[in-house]
Structure 1
Amino acid sequence: MPERRLDVLAIGNAIVDVIANADDGFLTQHGMHKGAMQLIDEAQATRLYEAMGPGRELSGGSAANTTAGLASLGLKAGFIGQLADDQLGQIFTHDIRSLGVEFDTAPRSDVDATARCLIMVTPDAQRTMNTFLGAAQMLGPDAVDPDHVADAKILYLEGYLWDPADPRAAMYKAMDAARAAGTKVAFTLSDSFVVDRHRGDLEQLLNERRIDILFANQVEVEALAGVDDVESAVATLRDKVETLVVTRHEHGALAIRGPERADVPAEPIAELVDTTGAGDLFAAGFLAGEARGLSLEQSLRLGAICAAEVIQHYGARPEADLRALTGGLLA
């Protein structure tokens, strides 16, 4: 890859997570589908927050978590995401900058409150997310500077943010800038609901070769391919994207690039605590390997190591020094 100031520039939801323990009965009572993410409005967010047990407030957002992982791995990462000019916005800004991630998107006083995600963690460590997008969905094309995109090796786009019109326009602008500059474009499907709501757009992005690296878990890739078997899904999509990466929870992950395929097992862990952020941190590890020119297998191993760290504690950002855990892969 060409020399650039940033290894990865990410665009995504700027969110503060509120994480609390809950049982299956609480999920049923409040109409949640276990393990999934649903969008809620501010009134719903207020009611749910009042019903939740004690919570932990942590800065989050899928792509922002990925940049946190990249920074922990010693890479140079930047983030673009919209905040409101409020207390949660100040918390998010402090947290992401303190990690060494470049973040310069100006907060706005003319938008709803900063986004928040209310996350219920059940005893089996599954996380169920309820997201009020607030200011995050007001990210517009003006927030994207083509020169900023051109200064990164990889542009990473969060599927969760594809839903609102303004951020979608911002991401199209960023993809155009990336194509002009020779910056690789990575896109994460984020959730099967993104596939269900935006199948036409996603198929068009693939057909127009706007995406170089596609991240999906097994459910998402099967949904996009319209099949119920991961190998059939991979066979359907492998020729539509330069690099296809599929995570398979406890069964590890695979990556396909042309005729090349790599598979790695999940990393062993001491205790499964909270799966929040597993995909985000897996993406961080894989993108770190790609930015450093490692092999598919090495990039997958980095992803597996990062995902294993984050699922052994609450919260979607690493607590350990990820670079120290990689065994010299990024040396």
Structure 2
Amino acid sequence: MPTSGAGPRPPTIADVAGAAGVSRTTVSHALNGIGKVDPRTRERIKQVAAELGYRPNLRAQRLRRGQAKAIALASTMPVAVAAGPSRLGFYMEIAAAAAESALLHGYALVLVPPVRSGTDLHSVDVDGAIVVEPDANDVAAAQLRERGLPYVALGRPVSPDEPAPYIDLRGELVAEKLLAHLREQGARRPALIIGSGQRHAAVDARTAYERVCAEYGWEPVVATAPETGGEQAGYDCCAELLARHPGTDAVCALVDAFAVGAVRAIKDGGRAVPDDVMVVTRYDGLRARTCEPPLTAVDLHLDRAASDAVELLLARLRGDVTTGMVVTSPEPRVIPRASSLRVTARA
């Protein structure tokens, strides 16, 4: 093989063709699984390519096929709640699992920062996207539709006009399980804190909370906080809630950043967690585990959900019409911790 001062050059498709005694077109068809190539010839070409250490030019393949071989992970969730100061959290856990699953299929994952009005997704070279927990009139979803790109939602879309297949994160069941746990621990006046947007988690939690309140005769107390405010928004919201409803004995703060802020507000107000006010949250992430006291949270099986979202999107890219519009995630599991173990801790 020819060499240069820079070292041996990598083998080319012409080298494989010469060693296998076939044309370059036959090599291309054999290695890409296209065209009519005798199975024995195809296997011989693959063996020769492996022996020579040949690697196909992926960029050239993408250009010929008109594919980017990349999918995007996008959301309108602000960093203040999706990731936090450490940049580790809900969004990044999904990203890690989705990237691994995509790579198994030969796709790269493009991680898009929070998409807001004015952010342009049109310049991102991808074949499709996963939109994490789209809000009503979601900007990211709207831009993908404008481009004619297929996408799936991780979390139930709340807009009735949303056409995307989705992974059902079972928002109502999550809220029901958290409220059942609080009731088991003695709560009789639990309040709900949710984001002020219209993501499925907030919408489903409110629906479940109002239903449970009616069932048990609880007075419903629902407060909302802006996602962009992160922990401080949760702090302010909880402080105001306790001032208006001093009899509140538990707070179900769906966003983990809000829950951490709520714990601070409770303590600063001279109350104890969980003896005076219990606190639970939805996402079992770093914030929940490092809060003091650690927060009772829910295992949402995000690794499985992210992988399912990739599979659902790739099915759409293949034009697979047999794949259903909805994939249901495994049953969520409450992980009890010190922030709400009032009865159990004393038993």
Interval containing the TM-score (normalised by the shorter chain): 0.3 to 0.5
Q: Mark the structure with the bigger radius of gyration.
A: 2
Q: Which has the higher strand share?
A: 1
TM-score with structure 1 length normalisation? Answer: 0.34
Larger RCO (alpha carbons 8 Å, 6+ apart) = 1
